[in-house]
Structure 1
Amino acid sequence: MPSIHPPIGRIGYVLKRYPRFSETFIVNEILAHEAVGQEIDIFALRPADEAHYQDILGRVRASVTHLKDRFCGPDPVWDRMIRARDLVPGAWDALAQIDGIASGQDVAQALELAIAIRARGITHLHAHFGTVAASVTRLAAAMADVSWSFTAHAKDIYHQYETPQHLDLKLQDADVTITVSDYNLAYLQKTHDVGKLVRIYNGLDLTRFQYAPPRMEATEILAVGRLVEKKGFHILVEAIKLMVEAGHTPSCTIIGSGEERDDLAAQITNSRLGEYVRLEGPRPQSEVIEAMRGAAVLACPCVIGADGNRDGLPTVLVEAMALGLPVVSTNVVGIPELVRDRKTGLIVPDGDPQALADALVSMAQDPALRASLSKAARNLIEAEYDVTVSASALRCLWAEAIARQSNTKRSAA
């Protein structure tokens, strides 16, 4: 077991929304920091828009500050500028150097965040996703003269946004950028002018995901995730149809909610698959874990969306593999780093329902394959996806960034 980096100062996490039902990887990370005594403050830039919340949220001790995100006229921004004049003198210089990419809303929230940084003694800011959270973090860190970093995932890297997100500028300005797969790292290095860029996999609390060999009598095909195009659940439904037409009697449960629910329900009805496929809606993580323990295989048929959106490395795959549930997924972005074909799972081409159907049938009919994939998958998770280790690596990078910032200040004094 590698040595664990100790707590460092006080860290501010900047997130677009908190909590988000689908972003358990952020909660896992925060909990891992808190487990070693790391002080965390969470700042949310937009109201939470979730109807359901994960049960692990109650374990987070960090305070959550929802920064005001709606302003009427210039007065609220001006009020923040007046407050910053005495509390954050560097804000004036930072504002004078704005390069035209920040909106008025970003500036107002950055001012409020910079004031909180000074008041709470925060020594480093970390954002998740290279969009608005990184925009506000970048500006607030410059105003308060602290170091900053962000984690780039997938949508923020590959999605074609109507409004430019200036990812190049953030990659250059951040003290360090983290991304969650080697695929992402290679892509960013090839397509952007990057500064310090490091790959750290999204980790999992393995004490909550105890391994058990796959149940040989299980038959259920399970899928878990937001009902959006990039998850590829429409491909899964088509694969189930092909299995039925070939004489099989599959049973498939899809857990999750999202904008594609009505389309999926219509697809199931039109294909006469009502007795084979069930849309269960969202479930708390404890119920998802229970469903995984009873299933035969997890189907994660990710695709690249029409707008370029795609999954980087779905947390649900890490969870299933940690528990011992065999998985079938696709060759999208960083997934093959985790699901290594016929070693830790089965990989099929994205958007290919026949290949997906064949893989699901193979998994169901070959108990020896399921057992070998299950054990190898758990070994990989223990070696590379332990959140204790990934959070420690993140703290190490923060400590280096804080030290460089301190050295710069001493040199300038």
Structure 2
Amino acid sequence: MTRELLWVSLPDQRARREVYWMSRMPQTHVTALAREAPDGEITWVPTTYTRPIKRFIEAGAFAWARGVGDQDPAAYDWVASLELCSLVTGQASRWRRAARGRGGRVRQAVITWENLPDQPLYRLPPYQQAVDSCRDADLLLCMVDAARDHLLANGFDDERIRVVKPGVDTTAFTPPTEPIAEPRVVFCSPLAPNKGIDRVLDAMAIVRRSVPEARLAVAGRGPLQGLVEAAAADPARGVDFVGSLPPAQVPGFLRTGAVFTTAPRPTWKWTEQLGLAYLEAMACGLPVVTTVCGTNDEAVSPGNALVADDVEALADALVTMLQDPARRATVGAANHAHVLAEHDLATQCARMGAAFADFE
């Protein structure tokens, strides 16, 4: 018997994330309302959005999907969406209630990464209305342990909560055949202030005083792209910018590095929740050097370098890792083993399916 799941996407849903994981759950078929065609074996219903603002974090949450009400409740077992306060979650809640009012059997799941118990958006309408609308959702699926804590702090029923951390494709994200000897640092994340590419650039300038041959390779796009392009244009900076990479090219890019780095820092409504980029780099056998932010310690295991939010501290940790090939090899091997054991994609998707089955 196949589980039929309707996914109501955010307008800027990233590929091969939540909806893709849902489609990889055993005996599950997903229909996705989305602006762009999703990856995977998913039935796509092209959708447009009412989106009054387009700023970074509000951009996804503050948007309504057109056509939710056109879906036939008799065709689905579940409706699912991302994050409590997103307006599409409110839409999913209303659609599910209307279906049940007509004798339908649709259940609701909300996927959440949120790790701030006092998330300020929850106090602002219409975000607050979306949160309240899903208090009786059947399943609250948390991607990090801290998300469960935040749900409990906000009065959600613990019996409806399950925690299943995300997986990465460990057949694609694999270590290189030979260790990278060159002191090459890789950054693969959005080029935005909250991911700290500006601090990484500053830290690398310090690193090159001790390790003159060190280079930084940057993949991504975002509002700070100009800073990266300017650094790459200066031969003295040792920066290589490859732009935004399609998903299939990310594993190969990571395998060119000796160390992976980011430098996240919180905003008024966000802190690092897990960081899939860490897991992908770790699966490729890279040690990680990053700043402590939010709950990224749930991804970055001991042996890697989690340092204070300080350019000098970041630079010192990078120098230490770059100058110690034996440590890099040891930490990298442990990282690869950790991801295989705890974040293999097929295994984690099966665990997500088991969470849904708990309520069926």
The alignment status of 1:40 with 2:30, answered yes or no, reads yes
Structure 2 letter corresponding to 1:358: D
TM-score where L is the length of structure 1? 0.73
Q: Which letter does structure 2 place at the counterpart of 1:185?
A: R
| Larger helix share, 1 or 2 | 1
Q: In the alignment, what sits opposite 1:62?
A: 42
**Displacement after TM superposition at 1:157 (Å):** 7.2
| Residue 325 of structure 2: aligned partner | 367
Equivalent residue number for residue 198 of structure 1: 162
Unaligned 5+ residue runs, structure 2? 52-62, 101-105
Q: CA 1:337/1:70 → structure 2, altered by over 3 Å: closer, same or farther?
A: closer
Between the aligned partners of 1:269 and 1:225, the Cα distance in structure 2 is 17
TM-score of the superposition, structure 2-length normalised? Answer: 0.83
Cα distance, 1:150–1:400 mapped onto 2, change above 3 Å? same
Could you tell me whether the CA contact under 8 Å between 1:321 and 1:327 is conserved in 2?
Answer: yes
The one-letter code of the counterpart of 2:3 is G
Name which of 328, 337, 342 aligns with 2:289: 328
- The alignment-based identity, stated in percent, is 19
Q: Shift of residue 223 of structure 1?
A: 0.2
Equivalent residues of 1:179, 1:200 under 8 A apart:
yes
Q: Give the secondary-structure state (helix, strand or coil) at the position aligned to 1:259.
A: coil
Match of 1:358 in 2: 316
What letter is aligned with 2:250?
Answer: V
Q: Give the equivalent residue in structure 1 for 2:335.
A: 377
Write the deviation string for residues 73-129 of structure 1: whole angstroms up to 9, x where unpaired. Answer: xxxxxxxxxxxxxxxxxxxxxxxxxxxxxxxx85x84xx42441336x111011122
- Higher Cα radius of gyration: 1
| 1:12 aligned partner | 6
Code of the aligned partner of 1:309? W
Question: Partner residue of 1:137?
Answer: 92
Matched, 1:123 2:77: yes
Shift of 1:68: 4.6
CA distance in 2, matches of 1:66, 1:301: 36
Q: Deviations over 1:191-237 (max 9, x none)?
A: x1112222211111222223447614132110011111211111101
Contact 2:6 2:32 in 1 (8 A): yes
Inter-CA distance 383–175: structure 2 relative to 1 (3 Å threshold): same
Equivalent in the alignment of 2:206: 242
User: Using the alignment, how far apart are the partners of 2:278 and 2:50 within structure 1?
Assistant: 37
Unaligned runs of 5+ in 1: 1-6, 72-104, 404-413
Q: CA deviation at 1:385?
A: 0.9
The structure, 1 or 2, with the larger RCO (C-alpha pairs under 8 Å, 6+ apart) is 1
Is the alpha carbon distance of 1:178 and 1:314 closer, same or farther for their aligned partners in structure 2, counting shifts above 3 Å?
same
- The alpha-carbon deviation at position 153 of structure 1 amounts to 1.8
Aligned with 1:16: secondary structure?
A: coil
How far residue 303 of structure 1 moved from its aligned partner, in angstroms, is: 1.3
Contact 1:183/1:333, CA 8 A, preserved across alignment: no
Superposed CA RMSD: 2.9
Query: CA offset at residue 244 of structure 1?
Result: 3.0
Aligned length: 338
Q: How far did residue 387 of structure 1 move?
A: 2.0
Q: Tell whether 2:307 aligns with 1:348.
A: yes
1:255 is aligned, of 219, 230, 234, to 219
Do the aligned partners of residues 368 and 63 (structure 1) sit closer, same or farther apart at CA in structure 2, a change above 3 Å counting?
A: same
C-alpha distance 375-393 of structure 1, shift in aligned 2 (>3 A): same
Deviations 1:313-359 (A, max 9, x none): 111111111121221122222211221232xx22112x211111111
